[in-house]
Amino acid sequence: MGTTTAAADTSSSLPISSYRDIAVDAAHQQVFLSDPFGGSVLVTDYTGQVVKRFSGEAGAWGLALSSDSRTLYVALRDAGAIAAIDTATLEETARYDTGTGAGVYAGPTSLALAGGKIWFGYSTDTWHGALGALDLSGAEPVVTRGQGLDTFRSSPRLAATPQHPDTLVAAESDGNAATLAVYDVSTGQADTQAKRVDPGPDGCESLQDLALTPDARQVVVACAAAHYHQVFRTADLADDGIYTTSWSPDAVAIAPDGTIAAGVYGPSRPDVQLFTQGNSTAFASWDFPSPSDYADTTVETAGLAWAPDGSRVFAVTETSGSSALTLQVLNHPQVATTVTVQAPASSPRNQDLTLTGKLEAPVGFGAGSTVDIWRLDDPLAGEGTLIGSAPVAADGTFGYTDRPRAKGDVQYTVQYYGDARHAYAYGTATVDITSD
């Protein structure tokens, strides 16, 4: 199936000149962006229109949204703290001292929710990084630090997934050869499960971003010195595939259904591509227009995020030679879908006849998907009768049992009406209905 190239559906200029992280709040249809050098957190709606800008958020770096979308946590590197923002009232409700100290080689940067805690990466000094955790489950907040020591040379970047909350992945991001580590945090401590230095067939220098698949079996990384996005198995961090992008990968985000959005920096094209998990060839892509022959619009490091329902991708871009930032809203394109139907060549009338089939598309089918079944007793006349519907399983399969009464050729048509991500499709099968 070929690649579909599209333009951004919405493009909005942002009133900030620095950027580090993005979080999407589906409950209130809001997008949060950190502005570290402006000391603020920007809030927009799903079209990129500004809702609010928080000031007084010194060194706002990494963001993490609670599982119920009620609270946004912000790593404040230059304050040595983690702030909590109510996503409904858009007010800061708490601030927790991490005890790390504040500033470039001290304060917290990346955040991830795992094991019932808020994990953060921070620097212990100029040449070392570590992991810490903020536990809010008790009467008083509890901070632990000093985990993952002697692994990272700077504040590590973190990744987790809500479907498997006991797995935490951390990666070196100081510009040298990356160190990648997987931890089990179910006990409240970061217990190392796997660790690898300079991973990948061509190494991994200057790691820019990483994301964990929903099943927590793979981690996808964007390393600036590579020509593709790399995939590693979390069990042992062995090489586990690539996604064919181009020089130089700098962003990756994974939807709840496993669809990978991959972004690159610089004049390479395309800027953003979509992949199904395990398929190295993209099925959709976007190119962002450049304002002139001397300037290019490119994806920011860690500048991609999915809406939790998978309906769109948000991309933060910058125009080269300026500090102008833009929020691009990329509606997920409908992908081509096929329906295959299997039925017996003949079947006695007034007896059960079972149809089976499968929907196939580059993107998986969500819970609640159905197909309609139509029966035409005379294939030469009319459009037939709607006789029922059938649920579609996660792998696209479906089944339906009918009891036809008319003799002769009966045509069954299975219709799938599509959704925001899948195009309409249908398939047919003809059965010779014989005497009882």
Pairing of strands 284-286, 4-6: parallel
Alpha-carbon gap, residue 184 to 163, rounded angstroms: 14
Same domain flag for 321 and 343: no
Same domain flag for 39 and 97: yes
- Token pair for 127: 């040449």
Alpha-carbon gap, residue 123 to 101, rounded angstroms: 9
Total length of the chain: 436
- Residue-wise DSSP of 322-348: S--EEEEEEEPPPBP-EEEEE--SEEE
Same domain flag for 351 and 409: yes
User: What is the Cβ-side half-sphere exposure of residue 78, based on CA atoms within 13 angstroms?
Assistant: 13
Alpha-carbon gap, residue 141 to 118, rounded angstroms: 11
Expressed as residue numbers, the domain containing 374 is: 338-434
436 residues of the chain, pLDDT tens digit each: 445 555 568 899 999 999 999 999 999 999 999 999 999 999 999 999 999 999 999 999 999 999 999 999 999 999 999 999 999 999 999 999 999 999 999 999 999 999 999 999 999 999 999 999 999 999 999 999 999 988 999 999 999 999 999 999 999 876 778 999 999 999 999 999 999 999 998 889 899 999 999 999 999 999 998 889 999 999 999 999 999 998 889 999 999 888 999 999 977 679 999 998 889 999 889 998 877 666 788 999 999 999 998 889 999 999 877 778 999 999 877 888 999 999 999 999 999 999 999 999 988 887 789 999 999 987 666 678 999 999 999 899 999 999 999 899 999 999 999 887 788 999 999 999 998 7
Same domain flag for 70 and 167: yes
In the listed set 331, 360, 376, which residue is the last one of a domain according to the structure? 331
Same domain flag for 278 and 394: no
3-state secondary structure of 185: coil
> The domain spanning residue 212 has which CATH number?
2.130.10.10
Alpha-carbon gap, residue 310 to 246, rounded angstroms: 24
In the listed set 293, 312, 331, which residue is the last one of a domain according to the structure? 331
Residue type for position 226 = A
3-state secondary structure of 429: strand
- Token pair for 242: 């690539």
Distance of CA 348 to CAs 257, 265, 355, 362, 378, Å?
Answer: 41, 63, 14, 38, 16
Alpha-carbon gap, residue 361 to 367, rounded angstroms: 15
pLDDT of residue 148: 92
Same domain flag for 324 and 342: no
The total number of structural domains in the chain stands at 2
> How far, rounded to the nearest angstrom, does the alpha carbon of residue 129 sit from its chain's CA centroid?
26
- With tokens 């570290």, the residue in question is 36
Segment holding 200, helix H or strand E: none
Same domain flag for 124 and 244: yes
In the listed set 283, 298, 331, which residue is the last one of a domain according to the structure? 331
Sheet holding 312-319, edge to edge: 10-14, 325-331, 312-319, 297-306
Same domain flag for 374 and 316: no
Same domain flag for 393 and 281: no
> The domain spanning residue 379 has which CATH number?
2.60.40.10
289 prior amide bond cis, ω within 30: no
Listed in sequence order, the residues at least 6 apart from 380 whose beta carbon sits closer than 8 Å to its beta carbon are: none
Alpha-carbon gap, residue 98 to 101, rounded angstroms: 8
Same domain flag for 219 and 366: no
Same domain flag for 99 and 126: yes
Please calculate the CA angle 160-79-42 and round it to the nearest 5 degrees. 65
Residue type for position 353 = L
Same domain flag for 417 and 275: no
Alpha-carbon gap, residue 42 to 35, rounded angstroms: 7
Question: What's this model's pTM, rounded to 2 decimal places?
Answer: 0.85
